[in-house]
Amino acid sequence: MTVSKIKISSDDDGTTYRPLVKFSYQVNGQKLTGDTIFFGGGGISSSNRKYANKIVNKYPVKSRVNVFYNPSQPNIAVIESGVTKKTFIQFTFGSLFFIVGLWFGILFWLFE
């Protein structure tokens, strides 16, 4: 890990905390860097500082981590592979909104 800190942002809606982690890795002699923790959650911010603290504490600076990268595009990499709870929630709500929107679209089309 080359960077592991909490990025704090404030505006009229309040304060948010985002874990900022950066890592370096090598593929076929090429040095690369990344900052995505897991797919679908690269920049998740929260008003709850506990989430950001948990990530930053899990990946302290100078710690060694496994990096999972796309062999055909090595610059696409994460340090947590698989489906996480946050990714699942995003996918579920996204699908739900799509289905509801599609349903209303079909109803509008049928009864127009």
Please write the tens of the pLDDT for every residue from 49-62. 888 888 889 889 99
* 31, 59: one domain: yes
Please write the tens of the pLDDT for every residue from 8-21. 988 888 888 988 88
Could you tell me the residue range of the domain that residue 89 belongs to? 82-112
* 14, 57: one domain: yes
- What's the pLDDT at 49? 84
- Looking at the structure of the chain, the number of domains it has is 2
For every residue of the chain, DSSP letters joined together read: --EEEEEEEEETTEEEEEEEEEEEEEETTEEEEE--SSTT-TT--BS-HHHHHHHHHHS-TT-----EEETTEEEEEESS-S--HHHHHHHHHHHHHHHHHHHHHHHHHHT-
* 35, 87: one domain: no
* 68, 99: one domain: no
As a whole number, mean pLDDT of residues 29-46 equals 80
* 97, 69: one domain: no
* 18, 45: one domain: yes
* 73, 87: one domain: no
* 76, 99: one domain: no
* 69, 28: one domain: yes
- What's the pLDDT at 2? 87
**Where on the phi/psi map is residue 60: left (φ > 0), alpha (ψ -120 to 50), or beta?**
beta
pTM value is 0.66
